[in-house]
Amino acid sequence: MPVQWSESERAAGWSLPAPYFYDPSVFQQERLKIFFRSWHLVAHVNDLKKPGDFVTHDILEQSVVVTKGKDREIRAFHNVCQHRGNRLIDVTRGNTPAITCGYHAWTYTLDGRLRAAPRSECVRGFDKNKHSLKPVRVEIFASFVFINLDPDAQPIAEMAPGAEAAIRKHLPDIDRLTLIEQVDVPVPANWKVIQENSIEGYHFDYSGPVHKQLVELIDFEGYTLEAHDKYWTYIGPPAAGATHAYGVPLANARWQTDGFFNIGLWPNATIYAFPYSDVIGTFIMNPTGPESSSLRFGYYGVEGRPLSDVTKACIRWMNEELGPEDIRLNISNQKGLRSMGFTQGRYLIGDGLNNRSEHLVRHFHELCHAAIEAP
């Protein structure tokens, strides 16, 4: 019997049943109906600044290469040679004057055209124009580069009206970023488990000492979580009278925002800034299997501006304290979902949709369920 989440269960406040977080048939539907049809954040435009710059991005077994052409256009292509299907580029980023297959040296220009194919003169009527790389949809949104395997996908600005304005309001330097570091972390948990954890404040008081440190930096009673169809925000204003953050004095530091700003774009990308840090983060939950994910953490500073001690301390704190604390919760949650003693949970929402409410979790579950059940 297929996994189901009945209308009566949803109306009564019961959450997604546990098999949605491990069942291979559910994951197959997510693969086809969510990840092969959605926008994926792959880079900032400044990661592709010079002609020849490229980044690659994997969407499960699919790989895409995004290039900056000599005409300064950003394009995306399936990362596969049109000769025998060899993967073209295996590194995450770099610069190249052309894309050459490491198997038989078929060479493509940065705009995807086949430039050379050794011994192709042996084939009567061989037409290079018929062997270009296959294009992938690409869009620039709030100075970030997104790709979509679905050529008919709704544009991001239509999917998330108002999202770019919110980003620019809280992150004034969004156009002037430069990559500080990018880290990929494997986590033995379903991607939805990780997303759930990031979009509710209910656990902040109870789950570990590092979350309590975050609460001390913001006015937690003013923490707001808002759903906007296929994007969501969770924002915490600064705590009054803060003099230190992440163990470092705030004197003489500068920052993107003194509050806690997060915006999530369906299905798996978050752009954020932590209080008093001059760094903009990207957090991408890439599924690798029904019960495994790869978390990509990107940290961007402002071009030409040295990192303050507070910002350096914030990055260290996120990498070494907050991130590991959250990942421990992700792993523990995934283990529990497999228990014979658990079927599904209850949303703790109540009136007012306050800072500890799980209404964003419910909203996210509804988006996932609607996508899975779509024709």
Handedness of CA 344, 345, 346, 347 (dihedral sign): negative
Length of the chain: 375
The stretch 294-308 carries a mean pLDDT of 96
Q: 216-230 pLDDT, tens per residue?
A: 999 998 999 999 999
**Largest distance between two CA atoms of the chain:** 77
Q: 249-294 pLDDT, tens per residue?
A: 999 899 999 999 999 999 999 999 999 999 999 999 999 999 999 9
How does DSSP classify residue 87?
Answer: B
- Average pLDDT of every residue of the chain: 96
Secondary structure of 343-370 as H, E, C letters: CCCECCCCCCCCCCCCHHHHHHHHHHHH
The pLDDT of residue 205 is: 87
How far, in whole angstroms, is CA 220 from its chain's centroid?
A: 25
The reply to whether the predicted model has a pTM over 0.85 is yes
The pair of structure tokens assigned to 191 is 């991607």
- What are the chain's domains? 7-38+162-373 (3.90.380.10), 41-152 (2.102.10.10)
The pLDDT of residue 1 is: 44
Beta bridge partners of 314: none
The pLDDT of residue 350 is: 77
Residue with tokens 């979509």: 148
How does DSSP classify residue 218?
Answer: B
CB of 338 within 8 A of CB of 18?
Answer: yes
- Do β-strands 62-68 and 53-59 pair in parallel, antiparallel, or remain unpaired? antiparallel
Phi, psi of 9 (to 5 degrees): -65, -45
CB of 165 within 8 A of CB of 309?
Answer: no
